[in-house]
Structure 1
Amino acid sequence: MSTKDEDTSGESKRRGGGGADDRGRSRHGTRTEEFAPSGEETGRRSHPRRVSAPRAMQNAADQLAILLGTAPESVSALKPTADGWEADVEVLELARVPDTTSVMATYRVILDPGGELMSYERRRRYARGQIDSRG
């Protein structure tokens, strides 16, 4: 026999006969999503699944664009880290004529494993036509 309770919206909801019992098990004995313990409850730290490299590149560019208010030109570097992803993103900071004299900037973007932006900083500024003298 099941019992009914009235919820605040006036609709009836059933307890007892069907879904999950008070231990979080369905009538089939499997653990239900609603009552599954979190990583904190089990003593394990849950880590989000790492996004793919193409998704990390897209997220770095998209999220930086939102913060800066301008679309990046490209992602020039991407590498996985222990804490997620690290990307270098090239941004046009000041358009000039001729285009080779426009001012560009490289931003370092740190993403968590799930692809969410954690931090960013401008690493350098340079003229678009400048050839990099590093290695």
Structure 2
Amino acid sequence: MTNTKNTQQSQDSQDSQEKQNSSKTDDDAPQGAATGRRPRPMEVLREARAQLAELTGLQPESVSSFEQTKDGWSLDVEVLELERVPDTMSLMASYQVELDAEGQLTGYRRVRRYERGRADARGR
């Protein structure tokens, strides 16, 4: 009888722990992915910046372009690549970032480098 009681207590404890674990959300996933809904644009922006920073080691300064595509999202993110004095001579880069519909980064590439203080002659 004691073994049966201990087995039931063990099973109840295990069931309770499984419920707690299933109710936790994955910290690496955007908030929308945890609920099964499409993430909001600001969630996508924050997540894209964080993922790009983690992959490149560079801190994003701004998002200069953002659009929803049929496959997910596409962003152009400006990052500081090389800090110089004066600041207007620092080297900046523009990265094109692609994300899936859930907001997970699927690819990125640097599309240009430029000095912070220079106007873009291409009108871009």
* Of 63, 77, 80, the match for 2:65: 77
Residue equivalent to 1:24: none
Report the TM-score when normalising by structure 2: 0.69
Residue equivalent to 1:132: 120
Report the TM-score when normalising by structure 1: 0.63
* Of 81, 94, 100, the match for 1:106: 94
Measure how far apart 1:11 and its partner are: 3.2
Query: What stretches of structure 1 move > 2 A for 4+ residues in a row?
Result: 10-13
Greater fraction helix: 2
Structure 1 unaligned regions, length at least 5: 1-5, 14-47
Q: Distance in 1 between matches of 2:66 and 2:39?
A: 13
Secondary structure class of the residue paired with 1:67: helix
Measure how far apart 1:50 and its partner are: 2.4
Secondary structure class of the residue paired with 2:60: coil
* Of 70, 93, 108, the match for 2:81: 93
Count of matched residue pairs: 94
Q: Distance in 1 between matches of 2:57 and 2:82?
A: 13
Structure 2 unaligned regions, length at least 5: 12-35
Flag the structure with larger Rg.
Answer: 1
Secondary structure class of the residue paired with 1:11: helix
Write the letter of the residue equivalent to 2:84: R
- State the percentage of identical aligned residues: 49
Secondary structure class of the residue paired with 1:63: helix
Larger relative contact order, structure 1 or 2 (CA cutoff 8 Å, min sep 6):
2
Residue equivalent to 1:11: 7
